[in-house]
Each structure stands twice: as structure tokens, then as C-alpha cells.
Structure 1
């Protein structure tokens, strides 16, 4: 289950940032997850809670923002939604090459809100 390794990496980065900012703890973590990243949201929530145990992140809420998969055909410039499994054949000109994936593989920390400091979120890009 790669959600556990993702959750552990998020907790490690957020805890390091909390220590750097002398934060007493973490209230909320906002995470951006592309729909093509192969992450099961429920499994990530479960793993995040486990990974937080005994850290400054323990008790934090994990908010995930899903990013839709989108692609663009270089030959004809058409853009379209790409679902799972991804279909990267252009729906307009049927080009199989020159297709660029624009979004959907994101996996990054958008923001962290420190505990005990309402209204003072710490921006973390990753």
C-alpha cells in the first residue's frame, strides 16, 4: 500500500516544518492529489492518521483536494478530461503521439495550519 509511504512522507515534511516554525502542533494539512496519481483517498486518510501517531502532526485533519486529469494534443491543440485508466488518444484527431498530460498526477502539500495559531497557516510547497 503506497498510501502509507505517502502519508509518512507528508507527516515527516510537515513535522519538520512545524519544528522549524516552533509550532506547538499541527491542526490541518491541505494536500493536492491528482486523480491519476493512483492514490485511494480513504486509504490515505487511514494511513495519515497512523503515520501521525506520536508526532507533532498527531490529531491534524487531512484535507485532500482532487485534481482532475487533463491532456492536450500537440498536433491539433484540443484539450480533454482524462480519467482512469487514462486514455491519451486525442478525441479530435486520433493522434497517438504528441499528447501532453497537463494535470492529474499532482501530489503536493498546499498548506499547513499550525495548532494554537488560528488564521496563521504556513504555506508548504512540495
Structure 2
């Protein structure tokens, strides 16, 4: 279950940023997760609950935002929703050799809500 390693990495990064800004607690963490990132949101939420224990994130809410997978054809410039499983063959012209994946692999911290920072901390960690 790689969701636990992802949750631990998020908790570590946010904890480090909180300590740098002298924040003692975090109430909310927002993540952006692409539909092709291979992350199961429920498993990540469960893992986050375990990983946040005894850290400045203890009790913090995890909010995830899904990003749809989209691709563009280099031959005809058509764009389409990729879906699961990924279909990287252009529905417009049938080409699959010059396809660019535009979105869907994201996995990043979008925003962190700090409760008691003494110094301003950037919202993105």
C-alpha cells in the first residue's frame, strides 16, 4: 500500500514547513491528485489519519481534489479525456505516436491551513 508512504511524506513535508514557521498545529491539508497517479483516495485518507498522529497535523483534515486525465494529439491538436484505463490513441485522427499527456499524474500539496504560525508561512508547502 503506497498510500502510507505518500501520507508519511505529506506529513513530513508539512511538519517541516510548520516548524520552520513556528506553527504548532495544522488544521487542514489540501492535496491535488491526478486520476492516473495510482492513488486510492480512501486508502490515502486512512493512511493520513495514522501518519498524522503525534505531529503538528494531529487532528488535521485531509481534503483531496481529483484532476481529470487529459491528452493532446501532436498531429491534429485535438484534446480529449483519457479515462481509465488510459487510451492514448487520438479519437479525432487515430494517431498514437505524438500524444502528450496534459494532466492526470499530479500529486501535490495545494494548500495548508496553519492555526498558530508566528511567522507568515506560504500556503503551498
Structure 1 gaps, min length 5: none
Question: 2:34–2:68: 8 Å Cα contact kept in structure 1?
Answer: yes
How much does 1:121 deviate?
A: 7.3
Look up the SS of the partner of 2:32 in the other structure. Answer: strand
Q: For residues 19-72 of structure 1, what are the alpha-carbon distances to aligned partners after superposition, in whole Å with 9 as ceiling and x for unaligned?
A: 001001100001000011010000000000001011111110001010000000
How much does 1:115 deviate?
A: 2.1
Which gives a bigger RCO, structure 1 or 2 (Cα 8 Å, sep 6+)?
2
Structure 2 gaps, min length 5: none
Report what 1:85 is aligned to: 85
The alignment status of 1:20 with 2:20, answered yes or no, reads yes
**In 2, Cα distance between equivalents of 1:53 and 1:15:** 12
Report what 1:4 is aligned to: 4
**TM norm structure 1:** 0.93
**In 2, Cα distance between equivalents of 1:19 and 1:6:** 20
**In 1, Cα distance between equivalents of 2:59 and 2:34:** 25
RMSD over aligned CA atoms reads 1.3
**TM norm structure 2:** 0.94
Question: Where does structure 1 differ by over 3 angstroms across 4 or more consecutive aligned residues?
Answer: none
**In 2, Cα distance between equivalents of 1:8 and 1:89:** 36
Number of residue-to-residue matches in the alignment: 123
Report what 2:123 is aligned to: 123
